[in-house]
Structure 1
Amino acid sequence: MGDAIELTAGDYEAVVSRQGASMCRLAYGGEELIWTCPPDVQPAAFEGRLLAPWPNRVGDGSYVFKGVEHQLEITEPERGTALHGLAHARPWLPVEIASDRAELSCLLDGAPGYPFRLELTAVYELDAASGLTVTLGARNAGDSAAPYGAGAHPYLAVAGPLDDAVLRLPAGSRQPADERLLPAGPPEPVAGTEHDFRTPRPIGPTAFDTAFTDLERDSDGLAWTVLSFGRAAVAVWADASFGWLQVFSAEGLPEGMHRRGLAVEPMTCPPDAFSSGTDLIVLEPGEETRSRFGIARTEPQAGSS
């Protein structure tokens, strides 16, 4: 089996990798709900990766925390940023494995630019009715406060051109960004713009590499994004700890991946939060935090053909 952990529940099947605790596959009745990536293959575009201790980008890889300047490794040289944290590149250890549940852990114990000690956990649970639930946890195991943010990077699969898919995105505001995809001013309302998908409609030519916030939530505090194509639909939900969604329409990706799916990335904070402090979680020694999101097969939205 190698790095692969296979889970099943009813018509759902999932594969999780010990490398990065990555989500490699999620299917319902043999229908792929997300982009698959074999556990032994390096993903081309972070598909299925968990993002911690920061999601998205830190501009120039530099930030000041508690009066101390830190310099992260630049991992996105074309934009001069530190991208998507550290956890995706680390081996995770299995804590408990069952047919429908996998718990993994990872210790971050100091890295260039991040000299903090965090115990990370990821729990993947499959349910025959509700699909996949992922719980991300972090505990500060060090002796000083630590900055923290988390996210995930699933790409929702579609069976044809993304332009024909119908999107329901529960976001009232978008984050303007500069050419490096770093924040450029405060969030702006989406009302009246091409990025308003609060009412389901076809994506058409709209291009996304955009952070959204002001998320509409149901009575359980969950924000639901639904992507429909024909008779199929897949939903991503995120709990109240995830105040942001990065949406990426796979622009310019290689090997037939260009606009063949939609990344819907729950994030606890916006891009460059280590610099701005916006929605940044600060964990004191011994403190911990939890965040939950999920993916499920659902019914198509109105407007689907």
Structure 2
Amino acid sequence: MELRAYEGMYGDEKAIWLEAGDYVAAMIPRIGGNLIAFRDVSKNYRFLREPGGDNMEDFRDKPGIYGIPVLFPPNRYEDGSFPWNGGAYSFPVNEEETGNHLHGFLHITPWTVEEFGTTASESYVIVSVTIDENHESYAYLPHRYTVRLRYSLSRDGLSQHLLVRNNGDEAMPCLLAFHTAVNAPFAPKSTAKDYRVKATIGQRWELDERMLPTGSYQPLTSEEEKLKGEGVNPFFAPMDNHYTAVPQNGRNRMELTDLKEGITLVYDVGTSYKQWMIWNNQATEGFFCPEPQINLVNAPKSKLPAEEIGLFGLEPGEYWEETARFYVKNAK
């Protein structure tokens, strides 16, 4: 199997390209360390939503809905603020319709390429971002920390390793998600009607008019029961829904099946993610976002037990890490 890792271009942005047999992936370090492409070139499958070379301005304007953006802290925070360890943080209100802060800073921050290359079995790239007093986001989240991402490509698909390290001298909140944008259809001869998705969701959180959890649950619809069971079309209804994550068979994952091609794309995200967001752009066929999330939306203001809602911190010198993987299997 031929393996390559090299610097190139994706549209007008510098990218690190990975190749492993029929698989190809591309990472754009300057815009959020975003893994913007994962493809099977032999079958012309494009698993992630890509801007393409002619839509780069839209990608730069809305980087959160392409590829695999890193959200830190993720999702919405009421009035742009939240308490922590007796103090409070204040973020810009960047979602005017709700009056909340949305999605943090890392998906728009330039990341540094630490290394890229090949081993005996994979091609890989490692990127990182280190936040300290000199970074503009420090004014809002005044902690020193490093986030490092390693992506590798092999015959087993696309693997992701994420690490967060607290470089400071105070405990910091560890709030993170991936706003992963998955194509449906990802096969050129299929349509969105050919797709079924299932995910390891548990209960659906009730959200108020500002899209913030009330602390209560809502009953699942019949389609949502199928979402956690045999599968349902990803565009059965407009979704901007928040769920607990309940691993099945020891794994926390999303499975997207192309009935026409007879294959399933598996997104196995690891069991450290306690929540899911699932967003499908008002049920617009083409792509949707199964978003593994450590914490409940607006978690620092919740009165629920911290362990239940994925709210935790890192002490000075501590690490948090998790792995995820995309791979393809034959559909049942």
Fold conserved (TM > 0.5)?
Answer: yes
AA matched with 2:211 = L
- Cα distance in 2 for residues equivalent to 1:161 and 1:79: 34
The 3-state SS of whatever aligns with 2:107 is helix
2:20: which partner in 1? 9
Residue 154 of structure 1 is aligned with which of 180, 201, 212? Answer: 180
1:103: which partner in 2? 126
Residue 261 of structure 1: how far off its partner (Å):
1.3
1:184 maps onto 2:196 in alignment = no
Q: Relative to 1, partners in 2 of residues 1:38 and 1:16: Cα closer, same or farther, differing over 3 Å?
A: farther
Residue 161 of structure 1: how far off its partner (Å):
5.2
Cα contact 1:174–1:189 (8 A) shared by 2: yes
Cα contact 2:237–2:282 (8 A) shared by 1: no
Uncovered stretches (5+) of structure 1, i.e. residues with no partner: 253-257
Give runs of aligned pairs for residues 228-243 of structure 1, distance below 5 A: 228-229=257-258, 230-231=260-261, 232-243=263-274
2:199: which partner in 1? 169
Residue 38 of structure 1: how far off its partner (Å):
5.0
1:210: which partner in 2? 241
Give runs of aligned pairs for residues 277-288 of structure 1, distance below 5 A: 278-288=309-319
CA deviations over 1:164-198 (Å, ceiling 9, x no partner)? 521112212111112222112234563x6431222
Cα contact 2:223–2:236 (8 A) shared by 1: no
2:224: which partner in 1? 195
2:97: which partner in 1? 78
- Further displaced range: 273-282 or 258-267: 273-282
- Further displaced range: 98-107 or 74-83: 74-83
2:4: which partner in 1? none
Give runs of aligned pairs for residues 217-296 of structure 1, distance below 5 A: 217-218=248-249, 221-229=250-258, 230-231=260-261, 232-251=263-282, 258-276=284-302, 278-296=309-327
1:21 maps onto 2:21 in alignment = no
CA deviations over 1:4-59 (Å, ceiling 9, x no partner)? 01011122110011021101101113310111135954163432243343121112
Q: Relative to 1, partners in 2 of residues 1:52 and 1:285: Cα closer, same or farther, differing over 3 Å?
A: farther
Q: Relative to 1, partners in 2 of residues 1:293 and 1:217: Cα closer, same or farther, differing over 3 Å?
A: same
AA matched with 1:150 = L
Residue 136 of structure 1 is aligned with which of 162, 169, 172? Answer: 162
The 3-state SS of whatever aligns with 1:194 is helix
Residue 216 of structure 1: how far off its partner (Å):
2.5
- Cα distance in 1 for residues equivalent to 2:86 and 2:75: 23
- Cα distance in 2 for residues equivalent to 1:300 and 1:137: 32
- Cα distance in 2 for residues equivalent to 1:189 and 1:123: 38
Aligned length: 292
The 3-state SS of whatever aligns with 1:274 is helix
CA RMSD of aligned residues (A): 2.2
- Cα distance in 1 for residues equivalent to 2:282 and 2:331: 24
- Cα distance in 1 for residues equivalent to 2:184 and 2:89: 41
Cα contact 2:89–2:140 (8 A) shared by 1: yes
CA deviations over 1:267-302 (Å, ceiling 9, x no partner)? 11121123325312201111110022222223335x
Residue 34 of structure 1 is aligned with which of 45, 48, 56? Answer: 48
- Cα distance in 2 for residues equivalent to 1:162 and 1:59: 35
- Cα distance in 1 for residues equivalent to 2:212 and 2:242: 10
1:126 maps onto 2:126 in alignment = no
Cα contact 2:71–2:179 (8 A) shared by 1: no
Query: RCO higher in 1 or 2 (8 Å CA, sep ≥ 6)?
Result: 1
1:299 maps onto 2:310 in alignment = no
Uncovered stretches (5+) of structure 2, i.e. residues with no partner: 1-7
- Further displaced range: 96-105 or 209-218: 209-218
The 3-state SS of whatever aligns with 2:228 is coil
Cα contact 1:151–1:265 (8 A) shared by 2: yes
Residue 222 of structure 1: how far off its partner (Å):
2.1
Query: Which one has the bigger helix percentage?
Result: 2
- Cα distance in 1 for residues equivalent to 2:162 and 2:301: 23
Cα contact 2:67–2:182 (8 A) shared by 1: no
The 3-state SS of whatever aligns with 1:185 is strand
The 3-state SS of whatever aligns with 1:195 is helix
Tell me the TM-score normalized by structure 1: 0.88
Q: Relative to 1, partners in 2 of residues 1:163 and 1:184: Cα closer, same or farther, differing over 3 Å?
A: farther
- Cα distance in 2 for residues equivalent to 1:217 and 1:246: 17
Q: Relative to 1, partners in 2 of residues 1:22 and 1:10: Cα closer, same or farther, differing over 3 Å?
A: same
- Cα distance in 2 for residues equivalent to 1:51 and 1:212: 19
2:74: which partner in 1? 55
Q: Radius of gyration: which is bigger?
A: 2
